[in-house]
Structure 1
Amino acid sequence: MPTSLFKPRIAALLVALLCWSGSIFAAPTPFTAHYQLDISGWPDATITHQLSRVSNDSHPGGGWDNVWESTMRASIKVASGEERGQFELDGDRVQAIDYTSAYSLVGIGDEYHLDQSQLQSLPDRQTALFELSRKAPDARCASTQVSPCELDYQNHKGKTETLYYRVTDRGDIDTPAGTFPGVTVDTWDPEKRDRHLYFTFHREIPALLLKMRYVKEGEERSHLTLTDLTLDRPNDATGSTAER
């Protein structure tokens, strides 16, 4: 494949991967999840997703309290990408406060950053993914008889994007890492209705993906599967435990 065609396709693939987040929302649980991504016509990729609590010391003078960080890393043989979003939880309110992303292709890459002032009105992609996963279990848009739900966010360059979504299933999901309660959401760009990303989230652990499928013109082009999961939960004796 000519290099001029290879580079933009791989870069676009990594950007797409890192995109896709009166009810009482589930409290976040720190976790580390590993996935296998199968892409039609391309080498398989590995993805690591971590959700962790951020120490207050990381934001001196910022006035932030309950701060969390969502980080995704993707890699294939010739390229890699990483995206990180930090956000504060204040009850049910989620406020994005910092975002960075970077990719590298055969030694050539770029970096992006959105700061607190740029994130005041709309969340970054990682924060939006967290929000989507919390809203999905009780979302009203679970029938074609009602309008789809809508989520606005900023892409890695700060451009406003709109995501429509509809809940399609709330059932247990079998994965190589185990069986978990899931909720599946069909998402699409209103200007690209022939392309759909189907996210399957854990119903009780915000941000945790169980599966993901990308469908274009009715054909599945890629799918993501959870292969390994570690949950970090409080423990009276040791302070934390790891569960699989």
Structure 2
Amino acid sequence: MSLNYRQAFKATAALALACWTSLALAAPTPFTAHYRLDISGWPDATITHQLSHLGNDLQTGDVWESDMRASIKVASGEERGRFQLDGDRVQALDYTSAYSLVGIGDDYHLDRSQLQALPDRQTALFDLSRKAPDARCASTQVSPCQLDYQNHKGKTEMLYYRVVDRSDIETPAGTFPGVTVDTWDPDKQGRHLYFTFHREIPGLLLKMRYVRDDEERSHLTLTDLTLAPSSAAPASTNGG
């Protein structure tokens, strides 16, 4: 798979958390979201992200799964992370990913033992979005927080981040309360990923922007959203 396309897809499914305030966190809500991914030099891609509740019992605990899939005419990618919730604590349990370009690709897997110290990208994305609304690193007068997670090969990745906005976000799927996180590699400070999450629905990405040397290279936009019937809340035009 081309480095540019692969980088853009992996960027939408990245990150772990650090440096948070210890406040009560929002409860998860199962959802299915569809996105349009515009990448410079590539055809537009369609991405589907599904957060599912797999069960809650004495043996497995409260287990959830985050599944993200992307596809265009010549390439496809998929990541799936399974994690356990114990109060405010999130523990990664299993991770799989697969990428293919014109029929040639790779598969990757991280098991529970490999995920004990650091989460995979899907679990980290959920955890970051859940705690971002109350993150303390929300000013340039405060040192940025540090994010540590494992990539698809189990390699430790580190980014810095700041929360830069908490405004309502307009999308083709509706208007939602958002929180935007600016992330960057300290060794590549000209490259920034801006993730905008729903402030009240953990794991739900509203949009994403990848900016390199002040030029936007890719843009992710939420186009459709379905929430679980038991907890569905309609989109609002006033952010509520």
Deviations 1:152-204 (A, max 9, x none): 10000000011211000001000000000000000111221111100000000
> How far off its partner does 1:31 sit?
0.2
Cα 1:224/1:13, change in 2 over 3 Å: closer
1:9–1:167 Cα change, 3 Å: closer
From the CA coordinates, give the structure whose radius of gyration is larger: 1
Residue 51 in structure 1 maps to residue 46 in structure 2: no
TM-align CA RMSD: 1.9
Q: How far off is 1:13 after superposition?
A: 4.2
Structure with larger RCO (C-alpha < 8 A, sep 6+): 2
Structure 1 residue runs of 4 or more that deviate by more than 2 Å after TM superposition = 6-22, 241-244
2:71 to 63, 72, 75: 75
Contact 1:230–1:243 under 8 Å retained in 2? no
Amino acid at match of 2:226: T
- Aligned to 2:130, the other structure's residue is in SS state helix
Report the TM-score when normalising by structure 1: 0.89
Q: 1:8 to 1:201 in 2, by over 3 A?
A: closer
Q: Give 1 or 2: higher helix fraction.
A: 1
What is the TM-score normalised by the length of structure 2? 0.90
Task: Structure 1 unaligned segments of length 5 or more: list them.
Answer: 1-5, 236-240
Give the Å deviation of 1:135. 1.4
**Residue deviations 1:74-125 (CA, integer Å, cap 9, x gap):** 0111000000000000000000000000011111111000000000010000
Deviation at 1:9, TM superposition (A): 4.3
Change over 3 Å in CA distance of 1:33–1:186 after alignment to 2: same
| 1:220 positional shift | 0.5
Aligned to 1:33: 33
> Could you say if the C-alpha distance between residues 228 and 45 of structure 1 is closer, same or farther in structure 2, counting changes exceeding 3 Å?
same
Q: What is aligned with 2:14?
A: 19
* 2:53 matches 1:63: no
Q: How many residue pairs were aligned?
A: 230
Judge conservation of contact 1:80–1:103 (CA < 8 Å) in 2.
Answer: yes
- Is the Cα–Cα contact under 8 Å of residues 232 and 242 in structure 1 kept in the other structure? no
The 10-residue stretch of structure 1 (221-230 or 190-199) with the greater mean CA deviation from structure 2: 190-199
User: What secondary structure does 2:163 align onto?
Assistant: strand
Query: What secondary structure, in the 3-state scheme, does the structure 2 residue paired with 1:54 have?
Result: strand
Cα shift readout 1:50-88 (whole Å, capped 9, x = no counterpart): 00001369xxxx932100000000011100000000000
Tell me, in whole angstroms, the C-alpha distance in 1 between the residues paired with 2:130 and 2:8. Answer: 26
Query: 2:117 is matched by which residue type in structure 1?
Result: S
Query: How many Å separate the matches in 2 of 1:182 and 1:66?
Result: 26
